[in-house]
Amino acid sequence: MLYRCYAKINLTLEILRRRNDGFHELASLVHTVSLGDDLRVEPADELLTRVEGLELDPETNLVSRAAALMSTSLNERRGAELSLVKRIPAAAGLGGGSSDAAATLAALNTLWGSRLNHVALGRLAAQLGSDVPFFLRGGAAVMRGRGEQLEVLPPRTGQWLVVLVPPHDVLDKTRRLYGALAPADFSDGSITARAVHSLACGEVVQETDLVNAFTRPALEVFAGLDAAWHGAEKICERRFFLSGAGPALFAFASGRGDANEQVAKLAYPAYAVRTVKHARASARVAAPGGIEYP
């Protein structure tokens, strides 16, 4: 089995409050986009994981962790060989690791014939990360609570975007960003509610509603992000917005041609992507021996 594991962008990310358990309550409108990793899953006598395109520590490799969790939870003695080709930049706010983890759970559920339903898979996904449950289905959704509470929305497919990933080497990024939050960065969730209404009505989310509570902290934590951000806006003559905890930025494009044109102008790694309605796509073999995704 071969899957394309899609990334996501946060169209909104509001942080409402700090909870008594030490976590933060959030409201975030998220959508999967066509930038993706490839995950191949095959039968094997034991669990084996290989990664191309990025060196991942075993403790942070969510494919390995997801496979181990699935095996332990099911008391499954069969193995699997999982080969991952990374294309989504790591720790950039695009959810690549979480998408890979969700695809691993779904793929092993199929490979082993486990027949876990979506609720059971969701419980396992939540143990791996707050946004992993979203990637079991993908498309568009509002994430609430720590991110594990999902409200599925009708996706807006085919919206082209430019995704820019400035260089970054911040360790323990998420903890540092949450630690840098100030009272002015918190909000009540009303902007996300307005963006959700637009999406539910089949409309484009307005740029005035593309908010992210980490915008100010990210500019403090990521060295050079301010210059990269303003430079991209000047070069592409449009606004860019932070995705997740960053430092990935995105901007709307009028179509494929416009997105490709803007990507060609940018010095840092950039991608022309479109919104997609699923968390992953199954591949088929294409002549002469290549791989095609729908």
109-155: per-residue pLDDT in tens? Answer: 999 999 999 999 999 999 999 899 999 999 999 999 988 899 999 99
**Count of beta carbons in the 10 Å neighbourhood of residue 293:** 16
Cut 0.95: pTM above it: no
Looking at residue 119, which CATH number applies to its domain? 3.30.230.10
What pLDDT score does 58 carry? 58
User: Tokens 């860019």, residue?
Assistant: 240
Residue from 117, 85, 78, 124 nearest 101 by CA: 124
What pLDDT score does 287 carry? 45
Q: Name the token pair of 99.
A: 């998408």
How far apart, in Å, are the Cα atoms of 265 and each of 21, 122, 162, 252, 268?
45, 40, 11, 15, 9
What pLDDT score does 290 carry? 53
What pLDDT score does 285 carry? 45
Cis peptide before 288 (omega within 30 of 0): yes
**CA pair distance 83, 127, nearest whole angstrom:** 22
231-270: per-residue pLDDT in tens? Answer: 999 999 999 999 999 999 999 999 999 999 999 999 899 9
- What are the residue ranges in the chain where pLDDT is below 50? 285-288
User: Which active-site residues does the annotation give?
Assistant: 8, 131
Asked whether the beta carbons of 173 and 91 are under 8 A apart, the reply is yes
- The number of folded domains in the chain is 1
What pLDDT score does 56 carry? 65
What pLDDT score does 170 carry? 79
**CA pair distance 45, 275, nearest whole angstrom:** 38
3-state secondary structure at position 5? strand
Burial-class residue 55 by CB neighbours within 10 Å (0-12, 13-18, 19+).
exposed
Give the range of the structural domain holding residue 41, as residue numbers without chain letter: 1-294
- Letter for the amino acid at 262? Q
